[in-house]
Amino acid sequence: MAKIEFRKAYFTGFSFTVGPARGEGAPMVVATFRAPWTDKHRESVGWKEVPDTVSGNVKLKPATIAGTHLEFIPQSGMEKHRIALDVSSVENCHVFVPKDEDGERELRFTIKTPVKNAERELGDLGRTVGSATGILKLSYDADAQRSLLEDDPEGQESLEESEE
């Protein structure tokens, strides 16, 4: 398993989707995160650089990371509220590029997990620390990530702003 470590990630919230009790479309907990967009993270996943000529929400291709496990450790004395969950997907990966040249670019993404008790763990985190800053460690399957990149041979040659 390969790993990405975001030293300054932000947990911004979560939601719960309902569905059948098991199988495809089963209930999922969806957590939203954002982190600084860095060359190290971009290269580890295989994304190309986002041109300076775009602003707003820029979709990444692939917009998915083959994530398998996450660990989030809140900072500022809230370390005891750390969470560790197996994940089924890391989706909707995009970069927010501010119009202001002094603004910092952010990687934004959602993590889905069907893990029992994930809603309670994320709910406790959200109610206790709100939107928290911390360290996010994301394990992913490097072979599956290469396959995602190979499935889109054009890569990010046609980056576009999204409406999010």
Q: Walk across the sheet containing 83-86 and list its strands.
A: 83-86, 67-74, 132-140, 2-17, 28-36, 106-113, 89-97, 56-59, 161-162
Q: What is the pLDDT of residue 157?
A: 47
CB 87 within 8 A of CB 66: no
Condensed to tens digits (0 to 9), the pLDDT of residues 21-35 reads 555 656 788 889 999
Q: What is the pLDDT of residue 110?
A: 93
Q: What is the pLDDT of residue 161?
A: 43
CB 149 within 8 A of CB 143: no
Q: What is the pLDDT of residue 17?
A: 78
d(CA 154, CA 78): 43
> Comparing 39 with 77, which gets the higher pLDDT?
39
Q: Which 3 state secondary structure label does DSSP give 39?
A: helix
Q: What is the pLDDT of residue 14?
A: 85
Find the range with the poorest average confidence among 15-19, 50-54, 66-70, 129-133: 15-19
Q: What is the pLDDT of residue 25?
A: 58
Condensed to tens digits (0 to 9), the pLDDT of residues 48-94 reads 888 888 899 999 988 888 888 999 999 878 888 888 999 988 999 99
Average pLDDT, integer, range 130-137: 87
For the chain, the domains span 2-19+27-153
Task: Give this prediction's pTM.
Answer: 0.82
Q: What is the pLDDT of residue 97?
A: 93
CB 61 within 8 A of CB 153: no
d(CA 124, CA 133): 15
